[in-house]
Amino acid sequence: MRFQVFPDAASTTAVQVDWLLAFLSLVTLFFLGIIFVPMGVFLYRYRRGNPVDRTPLNISTWKIEVFWTTVPLVLTFVIFGWGAGLYVHMKTPPEDAQEIYVVGKQWMWRLQHPEGKREINALHVPVGRTVKLMITSEDVIHSFFIPVFRVKQDAVPGRYTMEWFKATKAGTYHLFCSEYCGTQHSGMIGWVTVMEPKDYQDWLNSGSPQETQIAAGERLFHQLGCSGCHAENSKVRAPSLVGLYGKPVPLEGGTIVTADERYLHDSIVMPAKQIVFGYENLMPSFEGQLNEEQLFQLVQYLKHLGREQPPEYRRQGEGAAQFIVPHEAP
Amino acid sequence: MIDLRENYLSKHTIRSWLLTIDHKRIGLLYLFTILIFFLIAAVAAGLMRLELLTPQGDLLLPETYNKMFTIHGVLMVWFFLIPSIPTVLGNFVLPLVLGARDVAFPKLNLLSWYLFILGGSFALYGVFAGGVDTGWTFYTPLSTTYANGHVMTMAAGVFIAGFSSILTGLNFIVTTHKMRAPGLTWMRLPLFVWALYATSLIMVLATPVLAITLLLMTVERFWGVGIFNPALGGDPLLFQHLFWFYSHPAVYIMILPGMGVVSELITCFSRKKVFGYSFIAFSSMAIAVLGFVVWGHHMFSTGQSAYAGMVFSFLSFLVSVPSAIKVFNWTATLYKGEITFSTPMLYALGFIGLFTLGGLTGLFLATLAADIHLTDTYFVVAHFHYVMVGGMVLAFMGGLHYWWPKITGRLYPEKAGQLAAMITFVGFNLTFFPQFLLGYLGMPRRYHAYPEEFQIFNVLSTAGASILAVGYLLPVVYLLWSLKNGQRAGENPWAATGLEWTTPSPPPEHNFDQTPVVTRPPYDYAYQSTFHPREVEQTLENV
């Protein structure tokens, strides 16, 4: 039997989380010490029958109470601040992150790299590159957990969630579903393979060439007839989608939303949910015609539309995937 | 030599039990009922631990394993932990410590028990007719759309049992306000009463939210109204918000009464006025109030906004402070005491040890970045078992031993009691401490099979569980034995303060011959001075 107390740490975040955990362990030991050492002494010294002085102390106890209320309070603020700071860092992916799409379904993980390469219950990533996972679910809630990276994110049906990491150590590591999802929950596991950039590039290029996510999205955009209404010169009045991603969108009723992935996704399957100000609700729902993977490809294409320059990750030097995207605005 | 007066146990017919409105008898009805649920839930846990002895899922089918942890969770939470101290010890002791004849609404009290039985029957039907595999949390859309089994039967059971909780809470609140003996002012109340009062507030205010949540779940499941299911336009996270809005305060329903019991035990067995009475009393109220605004800390990894995460994390840290205050005050109470290590005291000390570690590991989980790694792993399982079992179950056992002479009129055998307390403590730690390490290593909870490198800690945990089982079974044996063979207890075997010890054991049906009048502050052991525990029973033997 293998005996291991400390898990491997294979990402930049993992090391930071471990420091935090080490600090928390010290705090725990500190409190255990200041509670149980005196308690042990009192229990021994003041056991019944032990002839020691028991005359009550005549002191004002409120000062003691204030003292031992304040000390933990201040200490918890420190822990809170540290934890929250790191959490914000974990929630804020660097700009140059490469997006990999993850969808959970009972009981497997399906992934697609931007270059089009697909994987099931496996994730290949290069050392030293920031990878951002865009996660969703086709059925119930799952959770994408990679212990050695100290990251975990629920996969929630109907929305995109995100986790990112930068792997630091090549190797093969566990990947778990950590949110209970039904009968085969404990079978929804797989492997994360962290590779040297060159090996990763070879892996990516192996097998038959695949359509990139953006190319697939564009194909769908035309096949489904989206371009018919959303093109600049269309007769039907529909909002333009060029450069829409990340922009504020005014809605009927006065609210303003940001055009994020979820907004784009929901506008395809539930167009009546959020009507853009000044437009009519003419668009049919595409619910049922597209699976989550195709929806994500469309979303990726829409995000790409109107970007002046190619996505950042393609300029990341070695290890960058070489792929060609047709990018004329429709 | 025996007090031959009639007492509350004198009538023996089944009818006299089933139609009783005596709070003491209702307490015993609850005791008997929750022990049945505890037994079933414990067997489920035993099967889980056996399955986890080996990495392969070789003993139970995955469905069966999933049903086991669902049964274990549902029964332990709603049919053992939540009712345990309030309905058994609270029911028995509260009117006695207040110097009252009964609770404010005796018939309502009996209705609570019948509702509990009805809810429990639904739950048991769900268990035996095929089981439920959603986990005790019933997360949507798994529970509404995908899960097999008797989800709605189980939910109905929990829904009905909730009303039992609400009625008990209501009864206790009114009893505490209106039934106190003359002179028993709020600041003279035993700390157990403060704890029960705070618990009752949560029961009355939080439980309705659970009822609403389960009702919404029903509406979605039967009529397809999109509330939680995204395919119907609902939001699955809404369920989690509503569920934890109840279930986090419910965690405090499960621990506050235990803290109250421990305050009684520590003072009694160190024969000392409690240190910082008002701080312990008001920290119970602070926990009850703050407990309502921390539910989001169960959802740090769901994708809720970072701002929400920060607010909930911050509030969770705040709620840790009143718990810390209690632990410090209990420790300070020992200073210059006159300490005996009777069984209830051993359980109380065990409580402080395990609850403190449970609370401190709670800090890990309240810390946002640390929680991301630890949530939904065995770390969480270990953490809440330290609080729920190490805390509440030990406090329940301590309280049961402490008031056993009052309940039955007999003393339990002390050596056997001490032995059982120590076995429980050792078995508990061996079961659950390795799970902290498993969690840090990354083993997810609710896994029927697991990778090999986690085996060693699982073996330790299963070994611990078998020791823990001995620690649980031993008291059943000697407590039953003591019913016939235990020494007569007399009024006040512990020489404790508190009105319940001024009436015979077992008490007469009407509790007190004359309404007691309180003239002293609580825990006035210095005043009561040199009256020592075990001497009383000898006096009695010599009568």
- B282 and chain A in contact, CB less than 8 A: no
What gap in Å lies between CA B148 and CA A273, rounded to an integer? 31
Interval A168-189 mean pLDDT: 95
A215-242 pLDDT tens trace: 899 899 988 888 888 877 777 778 888 8
Q: State how far residue B360 is from chain A, nearest Cα, in angstroms.
A: 6
Interval B165-172 mean pLDDT: 97
- Regarding predicted confidence, which is higher, A320 or A9? A9
Interval A82-98 mean pLDDT: 93
For position B384, what pLDDT does the model report? 96
B351-366 pLDDT tens trace: 999 999 999 999 999 9
Contact B236 A183 (CB under 8 A): no
Interval A71-75 mean pLDDT: 93
Interval B43-63 mean pLDDT: 95
- Regarding predicted confidence, which is higher, A59 or A15? A15
Tell me which residues of chain B, numbers 244 to 263, contact chain A at a CB-CB cutoff of 8 Å. none
Q: Is B485 exposed, middle or buried (0-12, 13-18, 19+ CB in 10 A)?
A: exposed
Residue A75 scores a pLDDT above 80: yes
Q: State how far residue B440 is from chain A, nearest Cα, in angstroms.
A: 7
For position B299, what pLDDT does the model report? 95
Q: For residue B230, what is the nearest residue in chain A, using CA coordinates?
A: A158
Quote the tokens at residue B374: 């630890």
- B476 and chain A in contact, CB less than 8 A: no
Quote the tokens at residue B398: 């301590």
Q: What is the mean pLDDT of chain B?
A: 92
Task: Name the strand (E) or helix (H) holding A238.
Answer: none
Q: Is A177:A110 a contact under the CB 8 Å cutoff?
A: no
Contact B276 A106 (CB under 8 A): no
What gap in Å lies between CA A328 and CA A324, rounded to an integer? 12
Residue A94 scores a pLDDT above 60: yes
User: Taking the domains of chain A in order of start, what are their residue ranges?
Assistant: 1-51+93-210, 213-315
For position A315, what pLDDT does the model report? 38
pLDDT-derived band at B148, boundaries 50, 70, 90: low
Scored b (16 or more CB within 10 A) or e, A18-45 reads bebbebbeebbeebeeebbeebeebbee
Quote the tokens at residue B23: 């709070």
Q: Which residues of chain B make contact with A42, given a CB cutoff of 8 A? A: 331, 334-335, 337, 339
Q: Which of A1, A161, A273 sits opposite B456 (nearest CB)?
A: A1
Quick check: helix, strand or coil at residue B133?
A: coil
Residue B283 scores a pLDDT above 50: yes
Interval A275-279 mean pLDDT: 87
B180-229 pLDDT tens trace: 999 999 999 999 999 999 999 999 999 999 999 999 988 888 888 889 98
In DSSP terms, A136 is beta-bridged to A103
Question: Out of 3.90.930.12, 1.20.1250.20, 3.20.20.140, 1.20.210.10, which CATH number does the structure's domain B26-542 have?
Answer: 1.20.210.10
Q: Which residues of chain B make contact with A177, given a CB cutoff of 8 A? A: 444
Q: What is the mean pLDDT of chain A?
A: 87
* Chain A interface, best mutation among B447, B448, B458, B527, by max A CB count within 10 A: B447
CATH 2.60.40.420 fits A1-51+93-210, yes or no: yes
What gap in Å lies between CA A81 and CA B313, rounded to an integer? 10
Q: How many residue pairs bridge chain A and chain B with CB atoms within 8 Å of each other?
A: 256
Q: For residue B266, what is the nearest residue in chain A, using CA coordinates?
A: A43
What one-character DSSP code corresponds to residue B9? T
Q: Which amino acid is at A221?
A: F
Strands of A118-120's sheet in order across: A118-120, A108-112, A98-105, A130-137, A161-166
Residue A43 scores a pLDDT above 60: yes
Residue B540 scores a pLDDT above 70: no
Interval A238-250 mean pLDDT: 86
Contact B303 A176 (CB under 8 A): no
For position B44, what pLDDT does the model report? 96
For position A2, what pLDDT does the model report? 64
Q: Which residues of chain A make contact with B303, given a CB cutoff of 8 A? A: 153-154, 156, 159, 161-162
Q: Is B354:B426 a contact under the CB 8 Å cutoff?
A: no
- Regarding predicted confidence, which is higher, B474 or B530? B474
Using the structure block, give the residue that is written with the tokens 């079978």: A187
Please give the CATH architecture assigned to the domain spanning A213-315: Orthogonal Bundle (1.10)
Interval B447-459 mean pLDDT: 95
- Regarding predicted confidence, which is higher, A58 or B109? B109
Contact A151 B353 (CB under 8 A): no
* Chain A interface, best mutation among B146, B334, B373, B462, by max A CB count within 10 A: B373
Q: For residue A190, what is the nearest residue in chain B, using CA coordinates?
A: B451
ipTM score here? 0.91
CB proximity list for B5: less than 8 A, separation 6 or greater: B504, B508
Quote the tokens at residue A256: 């303003």
- Regarding predicted confidence, which is higher, A56 or B33? B33
- Regarding predicted confidence, which is higher, B536 or B491? B491
Interval B467-476 mean pLDDT: 96
User: Whose CA is closest to A116, among A309, A327, A330, A325?
Assistant: A325
Residue B538 scores a pLDDT above 80: no
Q: Is A293:A136 a contact under the CB 8 Å cutoff?
A: no
CB proximity list for B240: less than 8 A, separation 6 or greater: B139, B298, B299, B302
A291-316 pLDDT tens trace: 888 999 999 899 888 775 544 444 33
Q: Which of A76, A140, A161 sits opposite B317 (nearest CB)?
A: A76
Residue B541 scores a pLDDT above 80: no
Q: Which residues of chain A make contact with B370, given a CB cutoff of 8 A? A: 17, 20-21, 24, 83
**Residue A277: phi, psi to the nearest 5?**
-55, 130
Q: Which residues of chain A make contact with B447, given a CB cutoff of 8 A? A: 185-186
pLDDT-derived band at B85, boundaries 50, 70, 90: very high
Interval B304-332 mean pLDDT: 94
Task: Please name the residue ranges forming H helices in B236-305.
Answer: 236-270, 277-290
Residue B536 scores a pLDDT above 70: no
Q: For residue A84, what is the nearest residue in chain B, using CA coordinates?
A: B368
pLDDT-derived band at A146, boundaries 50, 70, 90: very high
Q: Is A11:A168 a contact under the CB 8 Å cutoff?
A: yes
In DSSP terms, A155 is beta-bridged to A142
Q: Is B502:B528 a contact under the CB 8 Å cutoff?
A: no
Using the structure block, give the residue that is written with the tokens 């306000």: B177
What gap in Å lies between CA B520 and CA B499, rounded to an integer? 11
B387-402 pLDDT tens trace: 999 999 999 999 999 9
Q: Which residues of chain A make contact with B319, given a CB cutoff of 8 A? A: none
For position A71, what pLDDT does the model report? 92
What gap in Å lies between CA B504 and CA B3, rounded to an integer? 8
What gap in Å lies between CA B543 and CA B539, rounded to an integer? 6
In DSSP terms, A123 is beta-bridged to A192
- Regarding predicted confidence, which is higher, B192 or A271? B192
Using the structure block, give the residue that is written with the tokens 């002479």: B405
Residue A200 scores a pLDDT above 50: yes
Q: State how far residue A37 is from chain B, nearest Cα, in angstroms.
A: 10
pLDDT-derived band at B149, boundaries 50, 70, 90: low
CB proximity list for B326: less than 8 A, separation 6 or greater: B259, B263, B280, B283
Residue B140 scores a pLDDT above 60: yes
What gap in Å lies between CA A103 and CA A239, rounded to an integer? 29
Q: For residue B373, what is the nearest residue in chain A, using CA coordinates?
A: A150
- B208 and chain A in contact, CB less than 8 A: no
Quick check: helix, strand or coil at residue A151?
A: strand
Q: For residue B317, what is the nearest residue in chain A, using CA coordinates?
A: A76
Contact A87 B306 (CB under 8 A): yes
What gap in Å lies between CA A32 and CA B356, rounded to an integer? 8
